Amino acid sequence: MYTLAEENYLKTIFHLEQEFNKEVSTNALAETMQTKASSATDMVQKLADKGLVSYRKYRGARLSKEGEKAAIYIVRKHRLWEVFLVEKLNFQWDEVHHIAEQLEHVNSAELINRLDKFLDYPDYDPHGDPIPDKNGNIKSAIKKLLSELKKGNTGQLVGVRETSAEFLQFLDKRNIAIGASIKVLGREFFDGSMVIQVKKEQFFISKKIADNLYIQI
């Protein structure tokens, strides 16, 4: 059993490791957790004492095998709850993240396994993120950021990096959803902005938006 704070740090370290594929600095961790660097350092040291991370001063932290197992289980719970909230309780995809962050701390393996079965073993959450199975296996997919595509390229939206309500509401207004086909009609090399087409609609998006959309060619 881990404390709520420990679980939140384990999950955040996992996500940052996945994104940058390197040790996670305490500064990056503090920024993501919206706390002081000293507080992040203190927690990392506590996790290291428990054998959940390996930590090198001035270099950063990596999850140990035990820490990674714990983090993946938290991620599994979070994403399954998101599916449940959207598919069974009719929440919108921009409403579920914060609720799932509360539900992910319920520590009942039987409940989560039954939830998985009830949902018919979904592979992905409403934001396109893969759901780890009960053994901790995560499906990998070849995907690119929309910002990496060239003019004329077309791909399918398979996930989003940013899950804030504001960003997801922005996508909803433009009918950009998981599974949507997106074609790059043009791009400005000066600032990375793009003109894209979704269905029959064409519009301009900034590089910041393109940097937060995962595409599968």
Tell me the pLDDT tens digit for each residue of 8-55: 999 999 999 998 888 999 999 999 999 999 999 999 999 999 999 999
pLDDT score for 142? 86
Shared fold status for 4-63 and 144-216: no
Sequence ranges of the domains in the chain: 4-63, 144-216
* Average pLDDT of the residues of the chain: 95
Q: 4-63 has which CATH code?
A: 1.10.10.10
Indicate the length of the chain as a whole number. 217
CATH number assigned to the domain with residue range 144-216, chosen from the 4 options 3.90.1150.10, 3.40.50.720, 3.20.20.70, 2.30.30.90 = 2.30.30.90
| Contact present, 198 and 170 (Cβ < 8 Å) | no
Q: What is the mean pLDDT of residues 172-190?
A: 94
- Rounded Cα distance between 133 and 125, Å, is 12
Residue the block writes with tokens 């997801």: 168
Average pLDDT (162-169) is 94
Model-level pTM? 0.90
